[in-house]
A and B are shown apart, each in its own frame.
Chain A
Amino acid sequence: MAAALWSQLWGCAGGSGDAKGGDAVELFCSADCSNAGRCGFLVEGGCGDRCRQYNTALAIYSSSYMEATSRCLRTLSCAAISGDGYQECFEQATGLTAPTATTRAFCEDWVSTWFECGSWLSVTECEQDFARFSAQTLQQLAQCEAAESCQALSDCVVATWEGL
């Protein structure tokens, strides 16, 4: 899913520079425009603005996940940037992002709700899966826990993902 979310739009020079902390979109765009610059992919100005405009979907991720992703992106060769490197960085960062107390609190409720619908998902697995998402994303998903039935829960989660 993560792999399909970003958009590499390198029609720029410079961009927003190195972000220290900041939100997920900013972190990604900083690394993305830096890559574009060092590999000579920039053809016009406004890389940072354009990147932020086209990658708002990355706001579903936590800063810590995107920091890990960005660190990986910055190490990619120019050939890897043109290949599967971005996807690999997004996947690799999933395993490097530690769950937080927010993740655990979300997962205890999430697992409990899904357990009553026959799911075997564990809190540990949930933490590994959801550590990459921002607190706001988790909060939006958690609203589905009030669903009246398992089908309604499933429908709500699908609709929420689509709306994020």
Chain B
Amino acid sequence: MPRRTTLALALAAVPALAACSGGDADADAPLGPLRYHPVPGCEALDHTPCDIREATCQQRMLEIAACVRGSEAGRLPPVALMSKTAYAAYLEEQLAAEEPRPDPDHLERGLALLQLAAPGALSPSATIERSVDWVGGFYRFDTRDIVIVDPGEPMNAPIMNALLVHEMVHVLQHRDVDLVAYYEQPATDDASLAAAAVVEGEGRLHEARALASFVGIRPEEVDWVDYDRAAIDNANAWALEQPSPYLVSYAAVAYAYGARFVRAVWEADGLEGVRALFADPPDSTLALFASAEAEPPPPPREPAPPSAAPGWASQSEIVLGAWGTFVLLSLGAGTDAAHPVASAWRGDRLFVYGGDDSSGGEPETAVVWKVELSDAASAAAAATIVSELLPDANVELTGAALVVAAASGGATFDDWTL
């Protein structure tokens, strides 16, 4: 109490002094340097932004990453800078070492039939262009080093410091968990995306808290619910603006949705809870949609494949998940209408078929998307949206299950059992 009285008197004296020196003197006085507010719990570390090309700066970012996730900092990994041009060349080299996409690429065509991808979207050049557009840096599992893709920002900018903290989190994750094996576990594309949301979500969670500090505000005063909501809105809007919205799923989902998901676990169960996610990651993106709910979503259902007509051969099979469903429905009806329906997702399969080329022409492509929702009303809403979005598609509604079939070249599904 005595302290408080003294402080009150001291504060009361300020206006009087200011008045003597003439009105608004305090407000117009020259400023000292900005004081940075550390991430709570890491007050011993300097949070002033620095040039991330310098080893001392890199060491500090590693220490901040280690502090915020309760790890030992350990040895500083190599950090390299790469221009966007060099990154494109690096990706080209990586893709050249992989099995080339089939020709014709029925998966690409199938996604295009559903408006989820543009023609040519899975070509190496389009894949590279997408990555170069949004990747700011990456951590390489094999060489255990960090590459920062030069965006043209000053290297001491707060966002560059935060980016390095994010990548350092991956370094520390990989010391705790074999991330290569972690990414090999998921059985479907949607489960892979959900697993990635744990890795990138933790990175984004700590990156964002550090960024708050680096830009000069107090991390503890940020409304993180609002922050996550805006990040998800921005990610949704960005993805839906892309010519191939489903193909930017990693960029859109893993970071923004992942951060909200991991933050909910971190706030409820702390850093140990976050670590436990690596042993038991979510098995679908539905978990990311429902992160605010107390109960985990049910295991995804697996709709049976259709029986194709003679002359059609199965080419590939993917799971769009709640996220892919959300993208498709958003293209038709906007995000507000799509979100509740996508949240009712309980399982799906997108079956892709190629026609025979006996006629000598280009073989046709057919897709059958079978999705199960939690209730008939949601399925009916999805059917209405998809029918309007894809007027040439066959849309069949049975209770809470929906089948959408579309084919190129005017092919029909008369001889199919969907």
A contact residues vs B (CB 8 Å cutoff): 64, 98-104, 107-108, 111-112, 115-118, 120-124, 127, 135, 150
Q: Is the CB of A100 within 8 A of B230?
A: no
Q: Is the CB of A116 within 8 A of B31?
A: no
Chain A residues, CB < 8 A from B26? 101
Question: Which of A103, A118, A120, A123 is within 8 Å of B231, CB to CB?
Answer: A118
Q: Is the CB of B28 within 8 A of A100?
A: yes
Q: Is the interface of B mostly helix, strand, loop or mixed?
A: helix
Beyond A100-B31, A102-B28, A112-B218, 14 additional pairs, beta carbon < 8 A: A98-B30, A99-B31, A100-B29, A100-B30, A103-B31, A111-B215, A112-B221, A115-B215, A115-B227, A116-B226, A116-B230, A121-B215, A123-B217, A150-B233
**Quick one: which of B1-42 are within 8 Å of A by CB?**
24, 26-31, 34
Chain A residues, CB < 8 A from B34? 104, 123-124, 127
Question: Which of A101, A118, A120 is within 8 Å of B158, CB to CB?
Answer: A120
Judged by a CB distance under 8 angstroms, whether B214 is at the interface is: yes
A159 → chain B, closest Cβ, in Å?
20
Question: Which of A98, A101, A112, A124 is within 8 Å of B27, CB to CB?
Answer: A101
B51 → chain A, closest Cβ, in Å?
15
B contact residues vs A (CB 8 Å cutoff): 24, 26-31, 34, 49, 157-159, 211-212, 214-218, 221-223, 226-227, 230-231, 233-234
A11 → chain B, closest Cβ, in Å?
35
B324 → chain A, closest Cβ, in Å?
24
Given A98-B30, A101-B29, residue A122 in contact with residue B158 (CB < 8 A) = yes
Q: Is the CB of B215 within 8 A of A100?
A: no
Given A120-B211, A122-B158, A150-B230, residue A115 in contact with residue B217 (CB < 8 A) = yes
A104 → chain B, closest Cβ, in Å?
6
Q: Is the CB of B227 within 8 A of A100?
A: no
Residue of A whose beta carbon sits closest to that of B226: A116
Q: Which of B28, B157, B226 counts the most chain A CB atoms within 10 A?
A: B28
Q: Is the CB of B31 within 8 A of A120?
A: no
Given A99-B31, A100-B28, A116-B223, residue A108 in contact with residue B233 (CB < 8 A) = no
Q: Is the CB of B159 within 8 A of A120?
A: yes
Q: Is the CB of A101 within 8 A of B230?
A: no
Question: Which of A64, A117, A122, A135 is within 8 Å of B215, CB to CB?
Answer: A122
- Distance A51 CA – B223 CA, assembled complex (angstroms): 46
Chain B residues, CB < 8 A from A121? 215
